[in-house]
Amino acid sequence: MKMQVKLPQLAPEMASAVIVAWLKAEGEPVAAGEALFEVETDKVVSSVEAEAAGTLEKILVPAGEACSVGSVVAEIEG
């Protein structure tokens, strides 16, 4: 089952963020709660954990790119 990974809202005023780094590569397994990628917004860097376990199938927003809160940044095959 394909699950969408979205950019979460870390703070009420956050509208977008830059993907700093992917901590997993496409094809790698991911555990629920494991740090999956890092984002930066307003000088804050935060890691974002996977909500469910599976395999990171596709990275849709590469490191260095910005996207809006709620954007689908990757897909996990559960």
Partner 1 sequence: MGKFIFSKEQSAAYHLALEAYLHEQAIARDESFALIYVNRPTVVYGRAQNPYREVDWVQATERGVALHRRISGGGAVYHDEGVLNYAFFVPRRQALVLNYAYFLEPLRAVLRELGLASEILRKSNLYVAGRKISGNAQALGAEVIMSHGTILFSANTELLEALLHSPSAQVDRVAVPSDIACVKNLREILAERGHELSLGDLTQLWLDYLERVGLGGESFQEGSLSPELETLVRQDYLPRFLSRAWNFGRTAPFQLRISTPEALRADYGEKFPRHWQLSIREAVIESCRAADESEGAAALAFGRLLENCPLGYKELRQALAPLGDESVSLWLPAFSS
Sites of contact with partner 1 (CB under 8 A): 10-11, 13-14, 18, 20-21, 38, 40-47, 49, 62-64
Of 5, 33, 31, nearest in space to 19 by CA: 5
Report H helices in 23-76: none
Choose between 42 and 77: whose C-beta lies nearer to partner 1: 42
Cβ atoms of 73 and 19 closer than 8 Å: yes
Give me 49's structure tokens: 């954990």
Least spacing, CB of residue 63 vs partner 1, in Å? 6
Strand-pair partners of 33: none
Give the nearer residue to partner 1 in terms of CB position, either 2 or 11: 11
**Which residue lies nearer to partner 1 by CB, 1 or 43?**
43
